[in-house]
Amino acid sequence: MAYHSPHDFIESNLSGGDRKATFTVSDEEKASSSATEPVYDGDQYLGQAPTKEELNTLRKVAGPVSGSGYWLCTVEFAERASYYGCSWVFQNFIQYPLPPGGNGAGASAPGSEKPAGALGQGLQVSSALTLLFKFLAYCIPIFGGWLADTRLGRYKTICIGVVICGVSHIIMVVGAIPSILQAGHGMAPFIVSLLILAFGAGIFKPNISPTVMEQVTFKHPYIKTLKSGERVIVDPETTIQRLTLTFYALINVGAFFGLATSYAAKRVGYWLAFLLPGIIYFLMPIILALVYKKTIKTPPQGNILGDTLRVIKLAIRQNGFRKFGSVAYFDSVKPSELARKGIASYKGKPISWNDGFVDDVRRTLVACQIFLFYPLYWLNNGGIGSITNSQAGSMTTKGAPNDLVSNFNPLTIIIASPILNYGLYPLLRKHRIEFGPIKRITVGFVLAALSCVIGAILQWRVYETSPCGYHATECDIGNGVSPLSVWAQIPMYVLQALSELFAVVSGYELSFSRSPKSMRALVVALFLFMSALSSAISQAVVPALADPHLIWPFVGTAIPGVLLAGVFYWMYRDLDKETFLREDSDSQQEILSEKEKN
């Protein structure tokens, strides 16, 4: 079988002993060969498949989504409100001490320019702990994805994550009681709650987005006539794109809850800042119980991760790393090929996979190649460590919390999401302008790099205007801050937000559409893991986050970020021509059936 690069869109899926090829082709090829074929969702007739001419001339629109899909988006809102509502104030809580003249709960004295604080551990400890939290929250999803895909199923795993995070919220509120903070005992309960919250979020996060997207049940485009008489193409890609943007917008409605917690910490104290997210959080079990029966659920598929690692390890052992990921590379570990070589076992046990599963592994690896570009993107999108928040602490706030302005990131996403969903994207489709996921990701990479350019300029201006010059972070001369207004950071956060709508939303779409049904949570987890890698990189440079060198972390990520965008688009530009949704593979289900028979 000839090797096809990620730019090609023909794949053979040889399953079991049958030498039967199933091809994944573009919509145009599919339409030209099946112009009169009906499209079904299960037993329900939806319409006729579009012809090649219709694909090129008719407008594409979003199709139906199960009502539970939008309710599950609301669940994600509540989880992210609790997650970001707490994590948004972590940096100040850890970095700064209880403010002089404050109320002893972490709130600043009335009229003070000093930020809220509690533990007084400094910038480096604050950056280290917040990065550790982020690393764990985006590393643990690999375990959460494995647990769901192989053992419990996604819905049950989501519920377990909800319980774990609920425990963490209770501990966090108790640890922020003023008497505990004033006695200097706030660190231990905070760290315990932080670790539990990261673990629970890691269990929850990789399973919610594929569960939401699986509420779109039709897989192929079909023709529909609107009440106006216009004939349109109801398109699964457009439907999932709209649903994913809604999903991501609600994530950021939740993230915008950081505005309330920032003011709660500044005006009242951290016990209230941590209590408010907890109240929102306990909406989740109610919604999950209400939509349980109406939600389309994917059952666990067996030890997929274990078999995946065995396939990859055996392929590397047989072929080395040359041409890793090619069709021929993984053909060598198909059971049919191993049987021809007289190999029927692996480490003394019978081969537990079939030929189709090997193809699933290769397709998943190809789908995940583009995720390797995201660690640098995440460094650009928000900077390294807590330097943007610390930068705000060195600027004039006029009594506003120094972490308030960062809420313009979710605010921009909330405003821009419907503009993209109902304005820009339909306009582009109307004029037949293709703006596929690769183009969108490229635009997102560029916008994130530009946000770091703005961050570098602002840090330079802070140094130039601070009473302490290039030692502005912990300045005690005068009012201790630069006259530069903290609101000057708004363009930086707006660009970061727009970059997420292009790069991150498209990443979610690809992680769902280009992975086998039996491995979707795991592939989403791998996408999330890229954020963990960026946190690990940030952790490595935390010791360098000190005056007078805080300009260079911005510059050092912005320049490679622009280069990254160009290289990424050149390598993967043809992927936009592929069909969006792959056919579901039954390979792993066949394996499980065989095991049940035995």
- Domains of the chain: which residue ranges? 61-294+362-577, 305-353
Give the Cβ contact number of residue 470 at 10 Å.
16
The CA distance from 312 to 325, in Å, is 9
The CA distance from 165 to 281, in Å, is 9
Give the Cβ contact number of residue 50 at 10 Å.
28
Q: Which residues contact 427 (CB under 8 A, 6 or more apart)?
A: none
User: 3-state DSSP call for residue 398?
Assistant: coil
Q: Supply the pLDDT for residue 354.
A: 83
Q: Which residue numbers in the chain have pLDDT < 70?
A: 1-36, 43, 303, 325-327, 383, 385, 403, 578-598
pTM of the complete model: 0.81
61-294+362-577 topology per CATH: Growth Hormone; Chain: A; (1.20.1250)
What is the H or E stretch that residue 253 is in?
A: helix 236-255
Helices (H), 282-344: 284-291, 304-319, 327-331, 335-340
Sign (positive or negative) of CA dihedral 525, 526, 531, 535? positive
Distance (Å) of CA 282 to CA 7, 71, 196: 45, 15, 16
The CA distance from 262 to 265, in Å, is 5
Q: Supply the pLDDT for residue 6.
A: 37
Cross-strand bridge partners of residue 38: 48
Of the candidates 575, 595, 551, the residue with the CA atom closest to the CA atom of residue 436: 575
Amino acid at 326: S
Q: Supply the pLDDT for residue 36.
A: 54
